[in-house]
Amino acid sequence: MAAQIWYEDDADLSVLNGKKVAIVGYGSQGHAHALNLRDSGVDVIVGLRPESKSVQFAKEQGLEVKSVADAAKEADIIMFLAPDQYQAKIYHDEVEPNMKPDTALAFAHGFNIHYGYIKPGPSHMVFMVAPKGPGHIVRREYAAGRGVPVVVAVEQDPRGDGWDITLAYAKALGALRAGAIKTTFTEETETDLFGEQDVLMGGVNHLVETGFEVLTEAGYQPEIAYFEVCHELKMLVDLMNEGGLNKARWSCSDTAQYGDFTSTVVDESTKDRMRHQLQRIQDGSFAKEFMDDQAAGAPHFKELQEKFSHEKIEEVGPKLRAMFSWNNGPAADKDEEESFTGKIAREQVQGE
């Protein structure tokens, strides 16, 4: 069955007239949502801890900033854009005791709702608008008159206006210029985690690291190994983005295509391990492992960060990347990314 997709003409922005939207968090997604909604004429307030370094960044953009508790008292819609591991505490400590009985709760990822870390009462509408791109791209595309696609869902709809509000929010974000695909909190959460763990991060990163090790352990120069297993990956992914797997294949030599077709690195056993990872996502064991570790101060997470930040490929990578002029130019989006994702999102602290 074809996916249901909505565009600009399918939403009425006036649905948000007279409603105040509180954006909780001002990192990569937070700044994009707050600024795009503000520029679309929506009444926006940003909720942050008073001591947060993000307060000054938000105020410099002309946004009203209050504590999360005070923002929750005023808001008709609260969008949670703090990191997953902090959302439940923010909700229970600062939002739930202060929000109005009919406040709508919004999310850009279904994690906390799907796994039950946040359980809003039945009087609250619960919806999702999840951009398929990082926040600085969401903001840049909006400013250029374009948009980044989103997936949208409504989990609770006590008043019957849930889809009207969801699509109006997506339109204010600029997303309906590109399109909004209907999903559910369950589907978005489980597929998002699976993609991260098995293809985009846990797949690609480990393939690159392992390929580099195999070549260098066989005596090949690290610089040559880096070019072959890491550098050229971006060009291949760009081709996939432009025209799918077929364009990526057709753009390469017959030799490369034949090697692709006959490779046995990814086989049925890989698929079995992917199914195992998916099962852990579906039954909640991955979420519990991650959240329990975070609640304990993230000792295992920090240990893994330290371990994987010192892979051998990272010893040669910086030197070679400095050779690529396009990595060193004054691109406007790189400046914006550093401003917001670098200085704010990387802090990864509660309420930011």
Q: Using one digit for the tens of pLDDT, what is the confidence trace for 42-61?
A: 999 999 998 888 899 999 99
Q: Verify that 207 and 71 share a domain, yes or no.
A: no
pLDDT grade for 310, boundaries at 50, 70 and 90: confident
Residue 281 lies in a domain: no
Q: Is 145 annotated as a binding residue?
A: no
| Active-site residue, 109 included | yes
Q: Verify that 12 and 55 share a domain, yes or no.
A: yes
| High-pLDDT (> 70) share of the chain, % | 92
Q: Verify that 162 and 220 share a domain, yes or no.
A: no
- Domain boundary among the residues 135, 158, 183 is at 183
Q: Verify that 159 and 31 share a domain, yes or no.
A: yes
Which one-letter amino acid corresponds to residue 225? A
Residue 32 lies in a domain: yes
Which one-letter amino acid corresponds to residue 119? K
Q: How far apart are CA 300 and CA 12, in angstroms?
A: 46
CATH code where residue 171 lies: 3.40.50.720
Q: Is 192 annotated as a binding residue?
A: yes
- As a 3-state breakdown, the chain gives helix, strand, coil percent values, each rounded to 5, of 55, 10, 30
Q: Verify that 13 and 61 share a domain, yes or no.
A: yes
Q: How far apart are CA 234 and CA 225, in angstroms?
A: 15
Which pair of tokens denotes residue 146? 């374009």
**What's the order of all strands across the beta sheet hosting 5-6?**
5-6, 180-182, 150-156, 126-131, 104-107, 77-80, 20-24, 43-47, 64-66
Which pair of tokens denotes residue 40? 């679309």
pTM over 0.85: yes
Q: Verify that 44 and 163 share a domain, yes or no.
A: yes
pLDDT tens sequence across 76-95: 999 999 999 999 999 999 99
Rounded mean pLDDT, 225-237? 92
Answer for the pair 151, 188: CB distance below 8 angstroms, yes or no: yes
Q: Verify that 154 and 87 share a domain, yes or no.
A: yes
Element (H, E) at 166: helix 162-172
pLDDT tens sequence across 157-204: 999 999 999 999 999 999 999 999 999 999 999 999 999 999 999 999
Which pair of tokens denotes residue 38? 């503000």
Res 330: pLDDT: 53
| Catalytic residue selected from 31, 33, 92, 109 | 109
Asked if pLDDT for residue 241 goes beyond 70, the answer is yes
- Domain boundary among the residues 158, 183, 208 is at 183
Q: Is 284 annotated as a binding residue?
A: no
Q: Verify that 16 and 142 share a domain, yes or no.
A: yes
Q: Verify that 174 and 215 share a domain, yes or no.
A: no
Residue 154 lies in a domain: yes
pLDDT grade for 329, boundaries at 50, 70 and 90: low
Q: How far apart are CA 140 and CA 212, in angstroms?
A: 35
How many other β-carbons are positioned within 10 Å of the β-carbon of residue 183?
A: 20
Distances in whole angstroms, Cα of residue 194 to Cα of each of 22, 267, 302: 30, 18, 22
Rounded mean pLDDT, 28-51? 95
Which pair of tokens denotes residue 117? 């870390």
Give 61-116 as a DSSP string. Answer: TT-EEE-HHHHHHH-SEEEE-S-HHHHHHHIIIIITTTS-TT-EEEESS-HHHHTT
Q: Residue 317 is part of which domain span?
A: 200-266+297-337
Q: Is 49 annotated as a binding residue?
A: yes
Q: Is 135 annotated as a binding residue?
A: yes
Total domain count for the chain?
2
Q: Verify that 224 and 326 share a domain, yes or no.
A: yes
Q: Is 29 annotated as a binding residue?
A: yes
Mean pLDDT of the residues in the chain: 91
Give 219-253 as a DSSP string. Answer: T--HHHHHIIIIIHHHHHHHHHHHHHHHHHHHTS-
Q: Verify that 214 and 178 share a domain, yes or no.
A: no
Q: Verify that 147 and 30 share a domain, yes or no.
A: yes
Rounded mean pLDDT, 273-279? 96
Q: Is 43 annotated as a binding residue?
A: no
Q: Is 27 annotated as a binding residue?
A: yes
Res 347: pLDDT: 43
